[in-house]
Amino acid sequence: MDDWHETEIRVRYAETDKMGIVHHSNYLIWFESGRSDLCRSRGFSYKEMEENDNALMVVAESYCRYKSPAYYEDVLTVRTQVAEIRSRAIRFIYEIFRPADETLLAEGETLHLVTDQNKKVRQIPEIYKERLWAEPVADEQAFPANQAPS
């Protein structure tokens, strides 16, 4: 899979430090936003996995390399991609990019083990493997690009 799923975010004041630079901890939160959006684009949510299939994605590893700072009011793009799916684990990779000046701000990855509600590692249900490798699902509620609602 070579396609990145993109999520746009705007830096909020609360995400910056005294110097006006985004605090490093926010990048992992933005990774989660990108990951959740990618899953929804594939036709499911974390909530569905947990409630319907007793499958919870637990973060086992996280990594972030910071390359350039982000600032209050920056509009950023979180790029998310599935890098690997094993029988009990999923690896996502990320880039955080500022389109205004074409700057890569950070890159990273997370590894998730799938467990049941009792925290026992389990196999990933096939439906989620298939959906994660599939093409994005069209959002039927969205308006077509460049068209206003009637």
Looking at residue 106, its amino acid is A
Rounded Cα–Cα distance for residues 9 and 33 (Å) = 9
Active site residue 37: no
Tokens of 98: 């500022």
Rounded Cα–Cα distance for residues 101 and 85 (Å) = 33
Helix residue ranges per DSSP H, the chain = 26-41, 46-53, 126-133
Q: Which of 2, 17, 101, 139 is catalytic?
A: 17
Rounded Cα–Cα distance for residues 100 and 76 (Å) = 8
Helix (H, G, I), strand (E, B) or coil at 81: strand
Rounded Cα–Cα distance for residues 43 and 38 (Å) = 9
Bridge partner list, 82: 92
The residues assigned a catalytic role are 17
